[in-house]
Structure 1
Amino acid sequence: MQIKSFTRNNLGIATAAALGALVAGSGIGLVGSYAQAGAEPLRLEEPVRMPSFADVVERVSPAVVSVRVTIEPEQAERSETRRGPRGGPGQQFGMPDIDPDHPLYEFFRRFEEFGFGPGPRGGEPAPQRPPRRAASQGSGFFISGDGYVVTNDHVVRNATTVEVMLDDGSSFEAEVVGNDPRTDLALLKIDAPEQDFPYLNLADERSRIGDWVVAIGNPFGLGGSVTAGIISGEARDIGAGPYDEFLQIDAPINRGNSGGPTFNLAGEVVGVNTAIFSPSGGNIGIAFAIPAHVTSNVVTALMEQGEVVRGYLGVQIQPVTQEIAEAMGRDDTQGALVAQPQPDSPADEAGLESGDIILSVDGESIADHRALSRRIADIDPGTAITLEIVRRGDVREISVEIGRLSDA
């Protein structure tokens, strides 16, 4: 061996190799010395096994779809200017000025299409382009074998065409059967009588905080992406509407996951992904899903009637704070405080007054103002109910005939 012919790095390697061979040859190698001393390597008799979601994912993936919609320019909600400088803390990067024939042009174009481009310069108007149809993507899942698909209302709102792409790469045109903006749910239908689509069941039992969940969807148009986490909270009110009752999950959810399912480990849908909380637009571990029991009621109504009909009481309500309870001589904050009955509403006609506290509906206790909204919404219009209320310290009952909540 001509050691002098090696460079400095090679010399070190060669020398180490020769030394290792010498040590091993002499019977005093590191591993050999432990073995001779009778020591055993440290290891667990039974390895720690983390939960694998592979079986669940393999089973349910065929029923999860990507939803692509097109929207006419005049219906698309676009901003005339794109604000903010490139880069910087909390800022997002725009599409670089590259030739359309460049191999990465399509990648950056799609990146900008999902809302990550502030335009050429902060605060400057975006370049004028010919009117074109806007396109967006989301997720969804089959709820029946004959082609009904659940997704978010905001995914298909104002859509002129809807295309559903399956896990195997096939695609079908779909129509919007009905939608419910108040819960952000929509129901699609594929007209393909010869097809028997794989479908999913909504969970009957409510999830518990701490349960493992798996989310599958189409983030940023990638399709078929799987993330996992736990249920972090329940009955969250995020200000989206009067019937907020979201599950909070920490499985990574991003743009394009909207409308996709979140599963329990039995492969049942426990929620429909609809929103994230993020100061930057990316996932920070706080996502929200419409729970299965809400989804079930809305989807059933849309499938049978094409719309969701809700009961209407006609009161502006607010929570009963500790200060309000003490002022009214009560020991707890149960119920919903009537701020004001709306003129000519069922509540007004029944004699409800500002300052009344609604304690129960037909004997069912009302925990707070949100619970009252959900309870009244579930009652069929025209139904006579009995409200238990507190008025100026006295508990009394009032009979009300529930009206129908209008779209307005």
Structure 2
Amino acid sequence: MNKFSSLLVVSLLSGTITLGAYKLLFDTNSASGSKLSVASDNYSRNVGLGAENVDFTTAAENAVHYVVHVKNVSVSEVPSNPIMEYFYGYRGGQQQTQIGTGSGVIISEDGYIVTNNHVIQNATELEVTLNNNKTYKAKLVGTDSKMDVALLKVEADEKLPYATFGDSDNIKVGEWVLAVGNPYNLNSTVTAGIVSAKARDLSNTGIQSFIQTDAAVNPGNSGGALVNTRGELVGINTMISSQTGSYVGYSFAVPSNITRKIIEDLMEYGNVQRGVLGVAGGELNSMAAKEFGVKETQGFYINSISKNSGAEKSGLKKGDIIVQLDNQQIKGYSDLTAYINTKRPNDVVQVGILREGDRKTIPVKLTKKELVNVDYEGFEFEEIDAADKKRFKLNEGVKIKDVTNERYLEYANILKGSIILRIDGAKISSMEQASRILNSKSNNQKFRVEVITQSGERLQMLL
């Protein structure tokens, strides 16, 4: 497989993470009266046009009214320090108030606001200020830490201006976009740039899929809007790539299609419903094609099929190359991830594959993530449950459900039920990530794992 490394310092623009959600009934015409506005996509593209030929004023004028300033107040306890107390009379154990700021986007006239998960971390109080300087207390509806999305609600005394969702799948590289937010507490700041790339995964977990732009974004822009030249929301600005923590060239946004799906899940179910295809493998390039013995250099090569998955039930096989999902072309793993992230369990996806040179389309019903087990070389993995997280004080990891490979039977009693924390030094946060790392290795290639056993013992093993 193609192996690469890059130096990338990702600066979260403000705040951090709060987990929590409560259930509300929601759809595009829900009982609560909330309604998401979704735009059609039948307008002329501005790809290839110079800035002097594009009118940004209407988009900017619309966007500044639905982008808000978010203030996060958190209270923490100052730890005691006997030395400081003795020499300087310093007293620990006192409470300290911290204030973080970011941006948010109003998405309904009755006060639902989307922002970044990291903007509202540990918040004891949330306050939202509109472009007209009106301020409201906000409550947290729910969060998705993996995609860095959070949903807030304010009770306003008037109907609020709100964003229309654009189709992020249809934006083009080279298309002009605007970033709107509140960097450095400067309200209603608008910057312009182009879409530099799509489907960027900066986490190596196989879950994230960002739009990359060169619109200037700085601390405080987190949770703000990325809009097209019609003022439609195509992304939520999330982070920057920088050596300094300030903008130097690139910024990243959660695509609007993924954001919209997360919001609807949080409101309807109280958590994010993730459907999985149930395949593992890697994206093709010249080296990978040679290793797998195929001619194609684009697409997603299936190296294994997860048990109990829709892929297994529909007849997808090892060696199939995924080149299309519904109407979306799949050039690599990030394209596949980006599209599946917009779907839910039981959605049916038309999977276009190449099998021994023939093109086929196979309908696959996506499976709920928790029901799928990943198998690699006789190791069967499953997601860790709430009981394991509480017992071992973990937020992430992957559990070894069973060991059937004869090479590892002598370790089976130790490994079975253990939780993998790292593989070859990389922290493991999901089955997708574990599967991706292991399937990138050649046959019989050894790998080092760090596990915590069911007895609570931490071990490092070369397998």
Q: Give TM-score scaled by structure 2 length.
A: 0.56
Residue 284 of structure 1 and its aligned partner are, at CA, apart by 0.6
Q: Deviation string for 1:55-81 (max 9, x for gaps)?
A: 54334322210111123437x9x9x9x
Which structure has more relative contact order (CA 8 Å, sep 6+)? It is 2
Larger C-alpha radius of gyration, 1 or 2?
A: 1
Verify: 1:278 aligned to 2:239, yes or no: no
Q: CA deviation at 1:49?
A: 6.4
Residues 240 and 214 of structure 1, relative CA distance in 2, 3 Å threshold? farther
Structure 1 match to 2:257:
293
Tell me by how many angstroms 1:405 deviates: 1.9
Offset of 1:244 from its aligned partner? 3.5
Shift in Å, 1:200: 1.7
Q: Is the 8 A contact 1:322 1:333 kept in 2?
A: yes
Pair 1:333-2:297 in alignment: yes
**Structure 1 residues 386 and 254 mapped into 2: Cα distance closer, same or farther (>3 Å)?**
closer
Question: What are the residue-to-residue correspondences of 1:96-175 with 2, within 5 Å?
Answer: 130-175=94-139
Question: Counting strand residues as a fraction of each chain, which structure ranks higher?
Answer: 2
CA positional deviation for 1:134: 3.2
Shift of 1:154: 1.5
Q: Are 2:353 and 2:359, in contact at CA under 8 Å, matched by a contact in 1? A: yes
Aligned equivalent of 2:158: 195
**The residue matched to 2:229 in structure 1 has which SS?**
coil
Which string of whole-angstrom CA distances, capped at 9 and with x for unpartnered residues, describes residues 167-200 of structure 1? Answer: 12221111222222232222211123x3211112
Equivalent residue runs for 1:10-49 within 5 Å: none
Aligned residue among 235, 242, 252 for 2:199? 235
2:58 touches 2:230 (CA, 8 Å); kept in 1? no
Deviates more, 1:369-378 or 1:273-282: 369-378
Asked if residue 404 in structure 1 is aligned to residue 368 in structure 2, the reply is: yes
Offset of 1:335 from its aligned partner? 3.4
1:251 — aligned with what?
215
Name the structure 1 match of 2:6.
Answer: none
Question: Which residue in the other structure is 1:61 paired with?
Answer: 64
Q: Which moved more, 1:324-333 or 1:256-265?
A: 324-333
| TM-fit CA distance, 1:274 | 0.6
Structure 1 residues 291, 385: CA separation in 2 closer, same or farther (over 3 Å shift)? closer
Quote how far apart the aligned CAs of 1:318 are: 1.8
Residue 264 of structure 2 aligns to a residue whose secondary structure is helix
| Equivalent-residue separation in structure 2 for 1:210 and 1:372 (angstroms) | 21
CA distance in 2, matches of 1:176, 1:379: 24
Structure 1 unmatched runs, 5+: 1-47, 81-126
Match of 2:74 among 66, 71, 82: 71
Return the alpha-carbon distance in structure 1 between the equivalents of residues 150 and 297 of structure 2. Answer: 36
User: Take 2:256 and 2:299, find their aligned partners in 1: how far apart are those partners?
Assistant: 25
Contact kept? 2:200, 2:334, Cα under 8 Å: no
Equivalent residue letter for 2:132: D
Deviations 1:20-59 (A, max 9, x none): xxxxxxxxxxxxxxxxxxxxxxxxxxxx968664554334
Task: Measure the CA separation in 2 of the matches of 1:228 and 1:394.
Answer: 44
Residue of 357, 368, 373 corresponding to 2:332: 368
1:73 is aligned with what amino acid?
S
Mark the CA change 1:321 to 1:274 in structure 2 (over 3 Å): closer, same or farther.
Answer: same
Residues 63 and 225, structure 2, Cα contact 8 Å, conserved in 1: no
Q: What does the per-residue CA deviation read over 1:316-340, in whole Å, with 9 as the maximum and x for residues that have no partner? A: 4322232332354422134323445
Question: Which range moves more in the overlay, 328-337 or 147-156?
Answer: 328-337
Deviation at 1:276, TM superposition (A): 0.4
Query: Equivalent residues in 2 for 1:72-87 (5 A)?
Result: 72-73=75-76
Shift of 1:245: 3.3
Q: Tell me the SS of whatever aligns to 2:258.
A: helix
2:60 partner letter: V
Once the two structures are TM-superposed, the CA of residue 342 in structure 1 deviates from its matched residue by 5.1
Structure 1 pair 368–234 and aligned structure 2 pair: CA distance change class (3 A): closer
Please say if residues 237 and 244 of structure 1, whose CA atoms lie closer than 8 Å, have aligned partners that are also in contact. Answer: yes
Does structure 2 retain, via aligned residues, the 8 Å contact 1:212–1:230?
yes
1:9 alignment partner in structure 2: none
Per-residue Cα deviation, 1:137-160 (whole angstroms, up to 9, x for no partner): 110111111101111112123323
SS across alignment from 1:73: strand
Query: 1:328–1:392: 8 Å Cα contact kept in structure 2?
Result: no
Is the 1:143–1:201 Cα contact (8 Å) retained in structure 2?
yes
Q: How far did residue 303 of structure 1 move? A: 3.7
Maintained 8 Å contact 2:305/2:318: yes
**What is the alpha-carbon distance in structure 2 between the residues aligned to residue 379 and residue 263 of structure 1?**
23
Distance 1:316 1:225, change over 3 A: same
Letter in 1 for 2:121: R
| Alignment CA distance shift 1:393-1:169 (3 Å) | closer
**Partner Cα distance (2:135, 2:113) in 1:** 13
Q: Report the Cα distance in structure 2 between the residues aligned to 1:53 and 1:295, rounded to whole angstroms.
A: 24
Q: Does 2:384 align with 1:381?
A: no
Q: Deviations over 1:342-367 (max 9, x none)?
A: 56666677787766645566898643
Say if 1:396 and 1:197 are closer, same or farther in 2 by CA, change over 3 A: closer
Return the offset for 1:220: 2.1
Aligned residue pair count: 311
- Over the matched positions of the two proteins, sequence identity in percent amounts to 37
How far 1:385 sits from its partner (Å)?
6.8
2:166 maps to 1:214? no
Checking the alignment, whether the CA contact within 8 Å between 2:199 and 2:334 is kept in structure 1 is: no
Match for 1:181: what amino acid?
S
Q: Distance in 1 between matches of 2:323 and 2:194?
A: 34
- Which of 354-363 and 265-274 deviates more? 354-363
1:262 paired with 2:265, answer no
